[in-house]
Amino acid sequence: MSKNEITPDLVEKVAFLARIKLQPAEVQRYTEDLKGVFNWLEQLNEVNFDDVELEDNVPTLLREDAITDGNKLEDIVHNAPQQNFGMFSVPKVVE
């Protein structure tokens, strides 16, 4: 990955993937910033990863199968910007 691959188009594409609308000035600024950051990240290419084994052997916690939650409609919906019928309301989703 070279810093030259960071273009305003790419920044906009990735911003859409992250669902973030950017103003044109932001696109310019992030393009420059990201070039710097990704250039700096290049140094990881110096590292020799040949014999690196990822240790990942601490087991996750488990819980017993019991109904301990729910029945809190008010808590669930009271912060919602828009709600009706006990449900969250969003612009119509067309499939």
- Nearest 5°: phi and psi at 84? -160, 155
**CA separation for the pair 13, 5 (Å, rounded):** 13
Cα separation values, 67 from 39, 40, 60, 75, Å:
50, 49, 20, 18
Of 2, 11, 24, 28, the residue at the interface with another protein (CB under 8 A) is: 11
Residues of span 13-42 touching another protein by CB under 8 A = 13-23, 26, 29-30, 33-34, 36-37, 40-41
Provide the mask over 50-79, with x wherever binding to another protein is found by CB under 8 A and - wherever it is not: --xxxxxxxxxxxxxxxxxxxxxx-xxxxx
Smallest distance, Å, CB 56 to another protein? 5
